[in-house]
Structure 1
């Protein structure tokens, strides 16, 4: 078998490197389907091999605490894909009919897992019903299996999972309502047990988020994010980008309330270390508590609305002097800004005060004072814009003390001053 697999891999490698330009359009489509079929068959073989390795105790014999760590070492895999492979191998082992459908190409790996999850829910619900015998439950499960495998020929995994949640409506409608009630209760309890949230180590400036929530918790998160995810005219961000910004804004609001529990005796906060050149009065790159590096531009933006703790470091990094912490925008000053600007002051932005930072018109690091005349409320998006070195936007204080914005020539060749007309004025 090993020799056959090695040969198959070599043949597949030759096909992957073969020129594709001689193929007709229909041949490209047909080859894509065949390649996908080959991938799914290989996935089925991987799952079977993993399962047999588990049954024989191979991971433990090689000194690993579980199958996931064994797969990570053997396949040089990240934890997420390793866990997914181990979980799929266990799931398919319980459903040989679904495994055979995967091998024969009647379902792909994602569809197969959607089917096994649905069948597990069916089995849990039927097991709690007094009016079903073991034989009847087995017959219903068999019908559900056949129906879902047949539907896999028409529906992708996402839709198949939705249908699977109501499969008893198709094969046993007289039991569907009660069995679904039981299955949902068990599903909610299981979701609560397996819930989790992780942030990956930074890679190329990106931290990946992954996790699992129950339906109730997910609805709460979606409700919190929804208000901040609405498209803004002229906003070309993707929905996923708007959701990412909304998640950060919700967390920023929570930090700003001051109601979060303390951490190590300090209020919950983002802490960074920033280099400062006293000769040029310029900030350098910043380092977070986790060791992540942030650009000097980000450091300047953070310094606009942050608590600053000055520290003098020697050449070897030792602390020579530690100043007293002070808040740049005091509570009373923040209230004055809210009364004046009513929210983000950028022209026609609708973000309310609680979603804004206090931005220094003349940078604090350049000697700008922390005063009402030198501060303006900006939402995170427009705060980034004003700190971008090539944005071209300028801010001035008008005779009435309110900020006015001067657009760059690319936005308005005449550079006429603009104000926010959205926030109501008394």
Structure 2
């Protein structure tokens, strides 16, 4: 069944209708068959999504999307993480130029993962491979990727063999810096998964830097270090980052040297008298780059953090008071200059937590202060006329019909142009949106 055919037909029979209601009523053979058929349907729908997203990426521009690219738009409108949305966009974009691979994928002969592998090889073939060999290599890879028994290891093995066949005088894979990749992705449990593929020289630098920081450290009484090698390297990596940030050579983000910013209400810190913290003048306040989050600490990149961890970190922080009202909006700081002061920026981060544009939420370090009423039109530089926006949405607000007004709760509301919403209903800022809202 092709992608253009009736994609709902496979789910319309009595067995799958029963499975949706009460799977326990199905006999074992029917249960197994239902899982296989649902999986086939998901594959067809996934192929359709890639095709449609490819069209969105090709045809829809930032003024319609409201985002810098189709990846960010797709992530904001679905439950997809930005990385997963990006992979869909890149596959849809690439398949427009690879009709043979697209035909196999859209007819569900190969999976999205295998289509991406084959496409990547064809886009960046081995440097020593002649152009006339590409078609044959593509067919070999598609053959390896086709069929129910195909697996990613088999496809990668064919790619590796082809790379060896066409090896040239260019640097070997171990020294090819163009292959370097480093991924750091937030996981569902609030941690970060790190994955990298580095050339030999970079790997040597990394391992050399970690070596002295990840040695076993026996206790003072001689007790053996019980940490695993992986735990020791993780601790060494943490110390490496800490020393780098403390060194002051990391450049600037948002006008300040980057460091860990912890956002927490001081009241939550002093409730147990930890670290000798004191609440200034009895008012809610925040730590270095901080803001109040109703009993939960917050970091600019990773989001929520327990109050216990916040108390530990606050032992070594500089506390800067930012008084907040009942809605979590910083009170006017009383400074009216053209540029946003450092203290105003801290207050903007406290209120907006990143790019305020609906569905964006880019980290504060990527953002800048935007005047709702432009400075050139006598707009003051105070909190009720400022909003934190990433570079893309800052440009969008200056060059489109999107508008901003300050709501009754002193948080920004975004008014879309008529081409997005004919009624132009105000949309809450990103961090004020209801759960599940775009």
TM-score w.r.t. structure 2 length?
0.48
The structure having more radius of gyration, on CA atoms, is 1
TM-score w.r.t. structure 1 length?
0.50
Say which structure, 1 or 2, has more relative contact order (CA 8 Å, 6+ apart): 2
